[in-house]
Amino acid sequence: MDILKTYKEVSYALPKTILTWHLYGAGMENFGRDKKPDELPMPSYGPDQLLVRVDAISICFSDIKVINQGDKHPRITGRDLVNDPVTLGHEAAVTIVGIGDQLKDKFKVGQRYIVQADVFVNGVSMAWGYVLPGGQTQYQVIAKEVLNGDEGCYLLPMQDDTGYAEAALAEPWACVVASYRIGRRAANKPGGKVWIICGCDCDCDYELDLAEAPKLIVATNLCPTMMDKVKALAAAKECELVESFAFGSLDMEQFEAKYGLFDDIIMLGADGKKIEKAAPLLGAHGIMSILADKPLDDPVKIDIGKVHYKNHSYLGTMGKKVSDAYAPIRTPSELKPGGVTWLIGAGGPMGQMHTQRAVELEGGPMKVIATDVDTARLNSVKERFSPIAARRGVDFRVVNPKEMSKEEFDDLLNEFTGGKGFDDIVVLAPVPALIEHAAPFLAEQGLMNVFAGLPIGTIVSLDLSPVYTKQIRFVGSSGSKVSDMLDTLHAAESGKLSTNTSVAAVGGMEASWDGMLAAKEGKFPGKVVIYPQVRGLALTAVEDLKTVLPNVYDMLTDGMFWNREAEAELLRTKAEI
């Protein structure tokens, strides 16, 4: 019997029981029971549901965040995990093994898919692997929310010859791709709320040329000249106008309770204290526009977590027109062609993905420096990606800042950029101090991509003067869209992107506990992939397969990279059907 053929065609009797990992509360001790999965009956499925086999599930640090926070995690806040546990896992490749009666004209047994985990139904997040049960199981029911959400069906088809891990890793890779597609509004939000604040003490000659009509303008601390302009603006846009009290006397809690959060805050003049006080009132996708012609006196404390999770933007201009502040600069947020890029925290799994993308990106940067404080991880980065960089002619350097003084490291950064700064700085380590140190190294129109998931409430102290004097930008994103997933999957299937390069360790179903711990402790430089249909394989680094499963190791690319052939050999050898 050809086990792999039987496996792919699902030409075998499904088991009566399955293994499933549940999270019963915060902490690793609550992942599973005594470090083991639960044995459960094969789940039943309804007429509008599917039963799928989970073929590969990649472990994400987002899983670790849920384990660490339990019912305090924002996606599952207040959930009784003891009685209603979470099945984690959102980076999955699955195969249909059962079809509800209402869906038999749309799906077939044996069809293979990846799951776009960011499921929304009527604008409400129903994320797979958080709200909905995810892929840390052998078989799972796919509910109607996944099949008929706001973006349609969140199951995305994969080709018959695509590897399971290769496809599962399209999800984290799509998050990487999405982070370079971040855009923003090129004007104030139509029908939104605008707060205009004057940061100077004299009459102003700013032009309030708002392109869109807001529903509300709140004017604070404006001099008579500007107030007359705001009144004329409100009349022209036919929107409500409120003149608030002097800024210094505002009680921000009462102010927020009365007006809510703002889509646009326009600061006229260089006043860092006002910027700092007003910034918490930016809503999701909110924009702070700063118009000033001199530097701020002091650094400004901002919530960098909201840049990542709420897409807050800080824009500016030294000109007098508000519209100039909104003018597109580096949109979308792709790495500058031929530019200079710094990847901070490049040694971790996601950092290695960003590094791989930067050095192999067609038309991408020509100078890339990757930094991390873990020498072993950096050696992995150097070994994996230096040959790729060399083929493209990229000046690629790998540096551990801990191996030199701060002065020596700063001198190295200045030397690498020729004193002009970095066009792109990608922050992959959730450390506020790294952002504060790196921001001054941004070049004219430089862009800092805050990819690391710093939680909301993480405050950094930054000189925001370059936002308007040099037009630097800060961007951040979380998750991906269906289009990002499809593009990433197609790139992998066409050979343009090797998602398999990210695999650092593999294991069978019982190895998930060790896999989660390894992800939490940063044990491996790449991703851990669990094969739920494989039993009895402990968590194993790819290079250690040489002694554990030499027949699988022999299939690796260059003795270090996972591929479809190695996966096929693993399933032939260890899959239980």
Q: Is the domain of 60 the same as that of 167?
A: yes
Q: Is the domain of 472 the same as that of 489?
A: no
Q: Which residues of the chain are under the pLDDT cut of 50?
A: none
Q: Is the domain of 172 the same as that of 32?
A: yes
Q: Which helix (H) or strand (E) holds 92?
A: strand 91-99
Q: Does a structural domain hold residue 186?
A: no
Q: Is the domain of 412 the same as that of 505?
A: no
Provide the pLDDT for residue 360. Answer: 93
| Lookup: tokens for 385 | 């990606």
Partners of 11 in beta bridges:
none
Q: Does a structural domain hold residue 462?
A: yes
Number of domains in the chain: 3
Q: Is the domain of 373 the same as that of 508?
A: no
What is the widest separation between alpha-carbon atoms in the chain? 87
Instruction: Say if strands 422-427 and 50-58 run parallel, antiparallel, or are unpaired.
Output: unpaired
Q: Does a structural domain hold residue 57?
A: yes
Q: Is the domain of 65 the same as that of 151?
A: yes
Provide the pLDDT for residue 58. Answer: 97
Q: Residues with Cβ < 8 Å from 96, sequence gap 6 or more?
A: 10, 50, 51, 52, 53, 107, 108, 109, 110, 111, 112, 113
Partners of 321 in beta bridges:
207
CA nearest neighbour of 37 among 20, 56, 54, 18: 20
Q: Is the domain of 212 the same as that of 322?
A: yes
Contact by Cβ (8 Å): 428, 452: yes
Provide the residue range defining the domain that includes 240. 193-326
Q: Is the domain of 215 the same as that of 172?
A: no
Q: Is the domain of 352 the same as that of 301?
A: no
CATH number, position 47: 3.90.180.10
Contact by Cβ (8 Å): 504, 348: no
CA nearest neighbour of 446 among 430, 425, 419, 428: 425
CA nearest neighbour of 143 among 123, 121, 111, 169: 121
CA nearest neighbour of 169 among 386, 466, 492: 492
Provide the pLDDT for residue 331. Answer: 77
Q: Residues with Cβ < 8 Å from 124, sequence gap 6 or more?
A: none
- The total number of residues shown for the chain amounts to 577
Q: Is the domain of 237 the same as that of 168?
A: no
Separation of alpha carbons 341 and 332, rounded Å? 16
CATH number, position 344: 3.40.50.720
Provide the pLDDT for residue 121. Answer: 94
Instruction: Say if strands 442-450 and 473-476 run parallel, antiparallel, or are unpaired.
Output: parallel
Of 421, 442, 476, at which residue does a domain stop? 476
Q: Residues with Cβ < 8 Å from 28, sequence gap 6 or more?
A: 67, 513, 516, 517, 520
Collapsed DSSP state (helix, strand, coil) of residue 138: coil
Supply the DSSP symbol for 23: B
Provide the pLDDT for residue 550. Answer: 97
Q: Is the domain of 282 the same as that of 412?
A: no
Q: Does a structural domain hold residue 547?
A: no
Q: Does a structural domain hold residue 563?
A: no
Provide the pLDDT for residue 200. Answer: 73
Q: Does a structural domain hold residue 355?
A: yes
Provide the pLDDT for residue 203. Answer: 66
Q: Is the domain of 160 the same as that of 242?
A: no
Separation of alpha carbons 266 and 198, rounded Å? 8
